[in-house]
Amino acid sequence: MKNYKAYLIDLDGTMYKGTEEIDGAAQFIEYLNQHQIPHLYVTNNSTKEPEEVVVKLKEMGISAQPNEVVTSAMATAEFISEASPGASVYMLGGSGLKNALTSHGLELKNDEFVDYVVIGLDEAVTYEKLAIATLGVRQGAKFISTNQDVSIPKERGFLPGNGAITSVVTVSTGVQPVFIGKPEPIIMNKALDILGLDRTEVAMVGDLYDTDIMSGINVDVDTIHVQTGVTTKEEIEQKSVPPTHTFKDLNEVIKELEK
């Protein structure tokens, strides 16, 4: 395996598993920091702000800075503000999405008469919220969703993800949203722009084939699959487009880099 000049790194299943540490994760980041290799954490989680992500990483013994975090909320806000500066938005989602949208100068409204309907993971979702979102899309608002993850791993098991909530509005209106998060190129291109390197010099590290590995494949970036999360080595071997590399864990990646 070649030594890449920078890494894009998934969080859940790669850096930690819910509230559990993953052996090799902190060591890998320590290796990158020691060798001054740039890296960004790329997450579909739209509920958390970069500072909150950093707190979680530090709880896992992983050194991180807010400017090393790229969330689907940040990529969504940037996407909308570039296309329609100052646009009005009706959103479902948490504080991470709300703050990202307002910090980009977008106007949040509580009715359906808006330029955009944006759906992020909302753990306090109600029928009324979904009704306003549906009416907004039917009125002609552009429909955006932070990511298409249909389920998310929690301590209780796999719970409905943002893609599941989004699907209610999609089914009701017949309108497909623009998805921002992995495996879509929008969030990956934002992260690559921040790094400012040729994409041949960057690798995407993650555990889940359908989001993490496909996100790298979709933007022509080499991929490093780790078998510490959802997708197993056996499942990887069945894929028609395999990752560039697959390893048991990040300790094995460090050993490869030290060769």
Calpha distance 220→215 (Å, rounded): 9
Amino acid at 21: E
198 annotated as a binding-site residue: no
222 annotated as a binding-site residue: no
- What stretches of 89-237 show up as alpha helix (H) in DSSP? 95-103, 127-138, 162-173, 185-195, 214-218, 233-237
From 215, 224, 163, select the one nearest 189 (Cα to Cα).
215
239 annotated as a binding-site residue: no
210 annotated as a binding-site residue: no
Residue 10 annotated as catalytic: yes
105 CB neighbour count, 10 Å cutoff: 12
7 CB neighbour count, 10 Å cutoff: 22
Catalytic residue among 10, 149, 212, 249: 10
From 115, 112, 89, select the one nearest 101 (Cα to Cα).
89
Catalytic residue among 12, 149, 212, 222: 12
Binding site for Mg(2+), by residue number, is: 10, 12, 207
Binding site for substrate, by residue number, is: 182
Active site residues: 10, 12
